[in-house]
Structure 1
Amino acid sequence: MPAAAARERSSSAGLLSIGQVLARLSPDFPALTSSKLRFLEVQGIVTPMRTESGYRKFSMADLERLRLALTLQRDHYLPLSVIRDYLADVDAGRDPATPTAVPPPSIVPAPRRYRRDELLSASGAAPQLLNDAISTGIITAAESYPEQTVALMRSLVALDRHGIEPRHVRALRQNADRDVALVEQALAPMLRRTDAASRGRAGEVAGELTRRLDEVRSTFVRAALDRLLS
């Protein structure tokens, strides 16, 4: 064994790799990733030693320090700057009080739901227009409807003024279903994973793909209209 490798192995004895730290903390912090551990290092929460090859090695004290920081962040909603200052006081031999917890964000009110009569009133739609939208599959009949259905009905009202009826736009619903299938196919690798980070990333990518598909569709429509009006 080369001398450098022997020294590196000897100096790393009893220390943990980033993967081992992640394995020990993940049961209590399922959303934790190696990227988050590296971010905590950048933020000055922990300073692992480095081997001659540049690999991070964490002591048991580093492990417990990370556990404390993650607990303060999760249970007390503390920003990392406050946690860092608290740990600095501990390092200096002081006995600081546990930082005052920041109250959790206020609960977001439940989205409003609209009964049939409220939907008609809010959108300005005639009952027959709603019936047509339901019969063509543009809207699914329900006891109550979300805000997005109100917005959809308002659009149908505007289209109806120009003679464009729900049966004429039924193909748009079918196109939307195909768009969803495309997005689902693209997200398949992320959706197969159950960790919170992958799910969050899937939501971001879904939003981005939806915007891009809307842009492509709008471009096609504008180009066709330009040819029509030129």
Structure 2
Amino acid sequence: MTVSPDPPQVPRSQVRSIGQVLAALKADFPDVTISKIRFLETEGLVTPERAPSGYRRYVESDIERLRYVLTVQRDHYLPLKVIREHLTMIDRGEVPPGRAGLLPPGATPVDPAQPMANGQASGQVVDNGSEVAAAPTAPSPPARQPLRLTRKDLLEASGLSEAALMELERNSIVAPRRGTAYYGRDALTLATAAKRLSDYGMDGRHLRAFKMAADREIGMVEQAIAPYLRRSERRTEVIGEVLSLVLSFHAALVRSGMDKLGK
């Protein structure tokens, strides 16, 4: 039986704690917090090793990965889904669109004219008589862990003030998970978006209007799909499919309307 060699050990002097990582990032990102770093970890954007004691152990590549994430969030307002796609491309050796100058150190762009590394076949696909290189298969993204944020965690991760969070709660926009004092992923998404929208002058009055519109949509959808839910054994799947369709339709309507503003 062949035994795989153990991975090379990183010297202790090159390993940093989460507090040391925070200190290294603070100069460029004054708003970053330990809660924010932990949140990015739960989202699978950085995966530090764990010591036997359970403490996180960061190396330089982890810090540069965090630096990339924080930079594109701050300067380009990219959502986490897009950032995750960028990191997957970087891991494959590719350059994300328009981000050549932001690649973490050690990330080497792939020359599409060269064979793929790691023994992968380039493969050819014939499309209308012309040959194109088949894209490499992307690795599956890490499974997202459920979030369990305290009120303090939510404030730190979103950047909201206590007063702003209280206003969102008064308007039933953000709330802890039912029966608990902890906030989940949707609460963080709403709180973060509310903070960023406030930078563009959109206050609680605007957000209340969004909430009322969403409530109307929810009621309309519930009424429309009620007969299918009573008859279907796939209740959860039906709700998930309809939710995905409604969100896609709504997003396309908003994008279409915003496109008109830019013309």
TM, length-normalised to structure 2: 0.40
Task: Give the TM-score normalised by the residue count of structure 1.
Answer: 0.45
- The structure number with the bigger radius of gyration is 1
